[in-house]
Amino acid sequence: MHGKARRTLVVATTNPHKLTEIRGILTGLEWTVESIAAYSAGPPPEETGRTFAENARLKARHYGRLAPHLTVADDSGLEIDGLDGEPGIHSARFNGATYAEKFDIIYSRLRERGALASPARFVCAVAAAEGGRIVFEATGTIEGRVAEAPAGEGGFGYDPIFHVPRFNCTLAEVSAERKAAVSHRGQAFRRLREFMVSRGDPQQARPRTAGAARFTQ
């Protein structure tokens, strides 16, 4: 008797750290999780949205037309109250060629404003598409503050400067499992996981929007 065929989820990222994190959240499902690199070598779409959700949809539609499987894209970033919400949707493209440089700029600007340890949050919007049609959306948010100084070797991106009160340390100082349990991306992709489990024939999905999830401690 033949085993059940595995379905495929294509993740619209070439960032190996993000792909590993997402695979960890989705582990145990009878799905193969692949990078979009297997289907597209061209430039990414221009992120012209004004919100995380708009950019996630834009990327999901674009890559969903290129990959013959359910394709998920996320747009995420760090919003710092003391910087009027920056870097926000521009987190990946924020000033500085490296994250160390970005951190220096952020701390310099916060010192100028007398806003060190400013409240902040990570936001992650997720959208999944098939053939360019959005079939699922979700958002996750985790509240915290800017750490006194970068700390930790784990995680990636802005994790070393994001202090989580529940853990009394940065996201870069906790294990991947503990991070996924509370992080913005963990919240959003667990909702996607529920969607993947609940659907029957992958060709018969109907558009579905999950409510926003927020973790505050």
Helix-strand-coil split of the chain, %, nearest 5: 35, 25, 40
Cα separation of 109 and 73, whole Å?
Answer: 31
Tell me whether residue 75 is one of the annotated catalytic residues. Answer: yes
Among candidate residues 61, 46, 87, 78, the one with its CA nearest the CA of residue 142: 78
> Which residues are CB-contacts of 199 (< 8 A; sequence separation ≥ 6)?
205
Cα separation of 153 and 108, whole Å?
Answer: 22
Cα separation of 123 and 88, whole Å?
Answer: 8
- The catalytic residue among 75, 81, 84, 104 is 75
Structure tokens given for 47: 């992120």
Catalytic residues: 75
